[in-house]
Amino acid sequence: MLVLGIESSCDETGVAIYDTDKGMLLAHRLHSQIDLHAAYGGVVPELASRDHIRRLPLLLRETLDATGLGMGDIDAIAYTAGPGLAGALLVGASVAEALGVALNVPVLPVHHLEGHLLSPLLSADPPTFPFVALLVSGGHTQLMRVAGVGDYVLLGETVDDAAGEAFDKTAKLIGLGYPGGPALAKLALQGTPGRFKLPRPMLHSKDFDFSFSGLKTAVLTAATAPDFREEDKADLAAEFQAAAVEVLVAKSMAAMRHTGLKQLVVAGGVGANQVLRVQLDAAAAKRKARVYYPELELCTDNGAMIAFAGALRFAAGEQGGDGSGRFAVRPRWSLQEIVQPVVA
Ligand code: KG4
Ligand code: ZN
């Protein structure tokens, strides 16, 4: 079965084709809107929607061309139905649903975070169920116990900002551009953690929850001190990154201890952070555990993870839409609301 995946929940347009018979991704294409939003210091929803409209047909064509397939070869379609920006989601949803009607193939709405969560299974050396997942994106920070497709138990989550959001806001506070996460990580390379002292929020809270908004406030206090200089920025960035990473690592290890599992899967944009990867690997090695990451290019938003999550659900017997051509997007949508596919 050839599954076409479409992602348009935020500032990346992604298209991919996954082959369930071969168990592999045939092709995927991505267009990032970074240049479009950079001048505004963040994502402008209306511009995002319009750009998705412009890019999707082109990316669809490129993805098909890369595989040598025609539109008529597609057996099923999966698209991100939420969570995300309503207008941006509507673009992917309407293209997917319209194609479904035109090609007379089933169409399946996919949860964006399920895409992230399952994306490490696309790598050459994938984890096996069950595992602990650390989901760290711009909108979410969650620890889950994952026992199968749709079998997700929430262990803990952020009580305020998401980890990626904290990176982005901190980057903005010290004058770095959008997207802040990668920019902050780059500046931190030139700095030394420890010269500034930032808190490790909820490090000893004995649960699996996180809090990042206090960290951001502490950065603001440090950066607006009268004696703060331009050349201090790298040290502050390094300390912020060290603090955020320390908490993420400690809670992930606590979740593994609690569940008794030895596999940790990291998904979402912050999973691209190299310091987080190094520290997680080191902490896991001490516990004789292993950390799995998606391929670096599949850490941030992409169509491949949506095609793949859809493919797993179709393979498990899920049927897709009711064929009426009616659909709705879910800008706010908890991962806890989705369920295991019912095997046909
Ligand atoms: O998963 P993603 O592409 O989009 C969402 O679904 O949110 O994640 C984007 C987030 C942004 O907050 C971005 O700043 C952060 O991931 N991010 C990073 C890095 N690369 C992306 N944060 C820290 N270090 C990075 N290298
Ligand atoms: Zn995402």
Shortest-distance atom of ligand 1 to CA 168: 14
Q: Which of 300, 320, 306, 6 is nearest to 139 (CA)?
A: 300
The mean per-residue pLDDT over the stretch 138-145 comes to: 94
| Structure-token match 């997942």, residue found | 133
CATH, residue 240: 3.30.420.40
Residue 149 lies in a domain: yes
| Residues flanking ligand 1, CB < 6 Å | 10, 137-139, 164, 167-168, 179-182, 185, 268-270, 272-273, 300-301
Q: Which of 43, 270, 274, 335 to mutate to test the pocket of ligand 1 (most atoms within 8 A of CB)?
A: 270
Shortest-distance atom of ligand 1 to CA 179: 14
Residue 342 pLDDT exceeds 70: no
- How far is ligand 1, taken at its centre, from the CA of residue 341, in Å? 29
In a shared domain, residues 102 and 155:
no
In a shared domain, residues 286 and 317:
no
DSSP helix/strand/coil, 156 = strand
In a shared domain, residues 103 and 199:
no
Q: Quick one: tokens of 150? A: 């749709």
Residue 344 lies in a domain: no
- Under the banding of pLDDT at 50, 70 and 90, the label for residue 336 is confident
For 59, counting Cβ atoms within 10 Å of its Cβ (0-12 exposed, 13-18 middle, 19+ buried), the class is buried
pLDDT of residue 135: 96
- How far is ligand 1, taken at its centre, from the CA of residue 166, in Å? 10
What are 4-15's pLDDT values in tens digits?
999 999 999 999
- How far is ligand 1, taken at its centre, from the CA of residue 301, in Å? 9
Average confidence score pLDDT of the chain:
95
In a shared domain, residues 316 and 189:
no
Q: Quick one: tokens of 289? A: 């555990």
- How far is ligand 2, taken at its centre, from the CA of residue 26, in Å? 21
The mean per-residue pLDDT over the stretch 101-123 comes to: 95
Range of the domain at 45: 2-117+301-337
The mean per-residue pLDDT over the stretch 238-250 comes to: 98
Q: Whose CA is nearest to atom 10 of ligand 1?
A: 138
Residue 23 lies in a domain: yes
- Under the banding of pLDDT at 50, 70 and 90, the label for residue 63 is very high
Residue 344 pLDDT exceeds 70: no
In a shared domain, residues 69 and 179:
no
The mean per-residue pLDDT over the stretch 293-319 comes to: 94
**Total number of domains constituting the chain:** 2
Q: Say what the pTM is.
A: 0.94
Could you give the CA distance from residue 110 to residue 310 in angstroms, rounded to a whole number? 6
Q: Which of 137, 174, 184 to mutate to test the pocket of ligand 1 (most atoms within 8 A of CB)?
A: 137
Reported as type and span, the H/E element at residue 132 is strand 131-136
